Structures are given as C-alpha cells and as structure tokens.
Amino acid sequence: MSPNIIEVNDVSVWFGDFNAVSDLSFSISEGSRVAILGRTGAGKSTLLNLLVGNLEPTSGTVRVAGHDPVRERRELQGLLSMAYQSPRLLPWRTARENVEVGMEILRVPKAERRERAEHWLRMVHLDNAGDRYPAQLSGGMRQRTSLARAFAIGPRLIFLDESFSALDEVTAKGLRADFVTMSEESSVSAVIVTHSIEEAFEIADRVLVFGRPARILGDFDAAEVRRKHGDNFLPFREHIHQMMVDAEKADAEAEAKSLVES
Amino acid sequence: MTTSTPVSTKEKPSSSAAGAPEKATSGNLLRAVKDKWALALVVAVILGLVQLSSMILPPFLFPGLGDIAMAVVDILANQKSDILITMARFVVSLVVAIAAGWIIGLVMGAFRSTVGALFTPLFSIMQAVPALSWVLLAVLWISDINIRIGFICFAISMPLIAIAVYEGIRNIDPEIVEAVDQFRPTKLQALRMLLIPQSVVYMIMSLRSTTAFTLRILVFAELIGAASGIGQRMQVAQTNFQLDMIFAWTFLLILVNFALVYLIDVAEKHLLAWRGEAVIR
C-alpha cells in the first residue's frame, strides 16, 4: 500500500456559530485520484483551503506530504499545485509564459522551463497556441493552459477545484480525458473537488461523498462503480443524489429541532 | 469511461482580442475612415472660423491664416531653440515624475496599510493645490530656472502617476494573486510577476492625461518664471501684441500634443498588446 499523501484527523472548522467541517477524518494514498463530491455549501472549498494551507482547522490535524500546510508552508513549495474553476491566468503573459509561472518561482532554468512548458502545452493540445495571450484564447483553451500550468512544476499532488464545471460538456469531457492521461503519465496524486456525480466517477479512483457540514457520507471505489454500473449509470447516480439530499434533509430537521428546543 | 479526446471544435479563440494581428475588417476600416473624416472636418471648420474672424476683425486682433503660417515658418526658422528647450524640460521632468511616481505607487501598493495610508492623503492635498500656487511658490523658492520648472511639473504630475499606479495595484484581481501565490513566491517574485505588470496598465492610462496636463503647466510656468522656452516666447508675443505669433505657438503646441498622444498610443499598443478590447457595435 502506498504511503498517505494526505491525512486529515478529527478536523472541525467553525466560522463563529457556523460549523463548516465536522470531525472529518480520511486519508489519501500517494498516486491516487480522489474526488470530493458534494452539493454547494458542503464545505468542499473549506476542505481545499485546509489542504493548501490557506486555513487552519479549529481542531484536529491536517498533514499534506508529511507537512502541516499552514505552519510548514515553505516546505510544500513545488509539491502542490492547483487548477481552479476559472483559469486565473496572468493576462499579460502568453499561454506559454503562464505555464512557466510556477517553474519561474521555483527557479527552474530558462531552457528547461521552456522545454517543460512546450511539453505540457502539447499534452493539452495547445502546441500552436503558446504565443497567444489569454484574451486571444477561448474559455476551454484558457482552462487547458491552467491545467498545463498546474502539471508543469511536476507536483506530487494536484488539486482541482471544480475545474471543468464552467466548460461546455464536449470541452469538459475532452479536458477530463486529458487530465486522466496526464495524471497517470506523471503519477501525480490528485484531489478533485466537484459537484458533478458523473465527473467524479469518470475521472477518480475513489469518490468521497460529502454531506453538510463537511463529513463523509460515502466512500466509493470508482473503478468498481464503473465496472458495475458503467452501462447503466443513471440508477446509481440517483442513489448518490438521494444520499446527499437525505443527508441534507436530516441536517435541516436536526437543526430545526435544536432551534425549537433552544 | 475516459477516452482521449482532441480539442473540441467548439473551442474557438476569441476573435476580438487586442494584440491579435489587426485584420482590416469592413467595420474597422469604416471606423478609421470616419475618424479621419471627422478630424478633417473639425480642422476645416476651425480654420474657416479663424479666416472668417480675421476678415471681420482688425488684423491686430485676429490674424489671417496666411499671417499665422508665416509666423510658424518664422518660429521654425529662428526660434527652434525655444522649442527644444521646452521639450527638453518637458521630457526630463516627465521622466523623473514617471520614475518617482511609479516607484512610490508600487511601494504604496506593496505596503498599503502604512505607506499607502500615509501617502494617499498627502497626494490628495498636493493635487488640491492650484497649479498657480505651485508656480508662484517655485518662483520664490527656487532660483535656477530649469530646476524651478522641473519642480513645478514634478509636483503636479508625480502624484497623479503615483495614485494611478497605487489604484492599479489595489484593483488587481485577487483570484490571479491566489493563482500565483499557490506556488509560494517570494515578495520580490510577486512584485515582478504581479504588481509591476499590473501597474504598467494604470501608469500608461494615466500618462494620457498627465502628459497633456504637464505640458500645459510647463508652458504656463515658463510664461511666469523663465527666460527661454515656448511659454516665455508666448509672453513676449503677448507683450508685443503679436497675435499671429501667439496663434502660431498655439498651433505648434497642439501639434506637439497630438505627437505625444500618438507616441503614447504606440507605447500602449506595444506594452499592452495582451489586453482584450471590447468592441461596441
């Protein structure tokens, strides 16, 4: 069994009276692709912020590649990268220069930087668009550039924060396929935050279904699900959807009850 | 479940992006022709009004186009040095103001709660001081003419540039800051990758108004407190009631202003080639 790249132990996060994450514990082994699936407000972004070191838990511990992401922020340099829902490219840099951003910060020599940028642009089918500025690219091409930027530093762990959700279905499907190929070729671990059930089970090895406040409702072997339900995914999709809705209902009822009691 | 899929045919690059090689579309061409015609029309109307006024009013109050043209030739033949002196003063004071304003604006942006908070009210006060006050104070404070004029231009244009750069940095998209921050850059790397490029946009945009304003103030300062330069020559022409010379200098200053706008356009096209440009049809 591969060592764990992420370990989350008994983590809770409170924003004042609001409980965003509740006694959350899970681990992710190195080299795996794990989807965090949940509805809006399920604390997925809060979890990402905990993992990348932008937020400290109220209680519990988070370890990423063996480090505390808040206190040992520097030690994680070059180990993590992220692709967001929007491409977030620097508008004054060409696509190639955007792919080079992380490598530049890591002080990769210029020639190597250029070579690696070209490689990752080829991987996302943008080999002829390297000299274009973001304003000259389509939404899908920008998102491809953003993905290439995340892979180009050669990280051990990539986070995708709903990176395909703003794209049309055809573009998103192509990009998801590229992402799987790229992550398999580079043996990178990945945490994919999404609200799309299809997307989660399409690209991940493992799917964690989140309820609100962030806690695990289900932990699925995605390959197994694809094997069992690949031909007829709809009923399984409904099952997952119902699981999230029921959890939300139960939470709402519990909350109303506690309000009445208080 | 996943298959390798080529780039979707739906993924078409933006067509209206600035920085893309300009295509002579019928819309662009029409706009360019319209703009030129509009300019030509306005110039023709102004020249017509000048000539008409000269025919109605006495020549010492309103010279004709011929007299003005002769005065322009005279200036270009005999008073080139004054134009060069004014231009040299203008370039030096503007370059110093840009350099200082840019650096101060960057420092204000990098340390918002301290330097930014301190300099913002200071520059607001400086901007509220009337240009005439700066000129009169400089005449009394500084004996060297060139330093005096440089000081006036600096005091007026530097805060405009610094505030524009500061505003630019404050307006930087937090999402792209976060995207760069994920790689854990040093302060210096963040300055080079984010703050400086972002500030260039606002600096160039502020240059459009600052250059024209600085030139006007410079000529005004020369008029009051200099022994050479365009402003001083205009003051002499006014004293001698040479309206043709005043018109001629004004004409040349307008040309200089147009040339400056053109140069800023070229700089903008070169430095901000990456910007997408919205087209309103």
A73, A82, A91 member nearest B274 (Cβ): A91
Q: Which residues of A touch B193 (CB under 8 A)?
A: 90, 101, 104-105
Question: Is the CB of B3 inside 8 Å of chain A's CB atoms?
Answer: yes
For residue A59, the model assigns a pLDDT of 94
CA distance B254 to chain A (A): 33
SS3 A30: coil
**pLDDT at residue B277 in the model:** 59
Residues of B in contact with A180 (CB under 8 A): 2
Closest in B1, B175, B273 to A86, CB measured: B175
Domain with A61 in it: what CATH number? 3.40.50.300
Tens-level pLDDT at each residue, chain A (262 residues): 568 999 999 999 998 888 888 889 999 999 999 999 988 777 888 899 999 988 999 999 999 999 999 999 889 999 999 999 999 999 999 999 999 999 999 999 999 999 999 999 999 999 899 999 999 999 899 999 999 999 999 999 999 998 888 888 888 888 899 999 999 999 999 999 998 999 999 999 999 998 888 888 899 998 888 888 877 888 888 888 888 888 888 877 877 887 788 7
For testing the chain B interface, which of A88, A113, A137 should be mutated: the one with the most B CBs within 10 Å? A88
Decide: B272 and B204 in contact? Cβ < 8 Å. Answer: yes
Give the model confidence (pLDDT) of B106-144 as tens digits.
999 988 889 999 999 999 999 899 988 988 899 889 989
Mutate to test the interface with A, among B23, B183, B196, B279 (most CBs of A within 10 A): B183
The whole-angstrom distance between B26's CA and the closest CA on chain A is 21
Please indicate, yes or no, if residue A15 is contained in any of the structural domains. yes
How far away is chain B from the Cα of A187, in angstroms, using its nearest Cα? 17
Element (H, E) at A21: strand A18-29
Range of the domain at A213: 1-77+193-220
Answer whether A101 sits within 8 Å of B274, measured CB to CB: no
Task: Give pLDDT < 70 ranges for chain B.
Answer: 1-30, 32, 276-281
Does the beta-carbon distance from A138 to B178 stay under 8 Å?
no
Of B105, A74, B46, B150, residue with least CA distance to A65: A74
Determine which of A85, A133, A163, A181 to mutate to test the interface with B (most B C-beta atoms within 10 Å).
Answer: A133
* pLDDT at residue B28, rounded to an integer: 64
B183:A102 CB<8 A: yes
| Whether the Cβ atoms of residue A209 and residue A244 lie closer than 8 Å to each other | yes
CA closest to B198 among chain A residues = A92
Nearest Cβ partner of A133 from B3, B178, B274?
A: B274
pLDDT of residue A44: 85
The residue among B184, B188, B196, B271 with the most chain A CBs within 10 A of its CB, best to mutate, is B184
Q: Which of A54, A76, A105, A141 to mutate to test the interface with B (most CBs of B within 10 A)?
A: A105
Contact call for A168 and B6, based on CB within 8 A: no
Surface of B (161-200) touching A: CB under 8 A = 173, 175-176, 178-180, 182-185, 189, 193-194, 197-198, 200
Out of A82, A136, A176, the one facing B14 most closely (by C-beta) is: A136
Residue A16 lies in a domain: yes
The reported pLDDT for the residue numbered B13 is: 55
Q: Does some domain include residue A57?
A: yes
**Are residues B19 and A135, on separate chains, in Cβ contact within 8 Å?**
yes
Spell out the domain ranges in chain B: 64-271
* Residue A61 lies inside a defined structural domain of this protein: yes
Q: Would you say residue A100 lies in a domain?
A: no
Q: Is residue A120 part of a domain?
A: no
Provide the domain count of chain A.
1
Beta strands A215-221; A206-211: pairing state = antiparallel
pLDDT the model gives residue A135: 92
The distance of A80 to chain B (nearest Cα, Å) reads 8
Say how far apart CA A126 and CA B11 lie, in whole Å. 11
Q: Which residue of A has its CA nearest to B4?
A: A177
Please state which CATH class domain B64-271 belongs to. mainly alpha
Query: Which chain B residue shows the shortest CA-CA distance from A142?
Result: B13
Phi-psi region of B64 (alpha: psi -120 to 50; beta: other; left: phi over 0): beta
* Torsion, Cα of A86, A87, A92, A93 (10° steps): 170
Closest Cβ opposite residue A140 in set B11, B19, B275: B11
Name the nearest CA neighbour of A8 among A218, A244, A222, A215.
A215
CB pair distance less than 8 Å for B19 and A136: yes
The answer to whether residue A132 sits within a structural domain is: no
Cα B1 to chain centroid, rounded: 58
**What amino acid occupies position B208?**
R
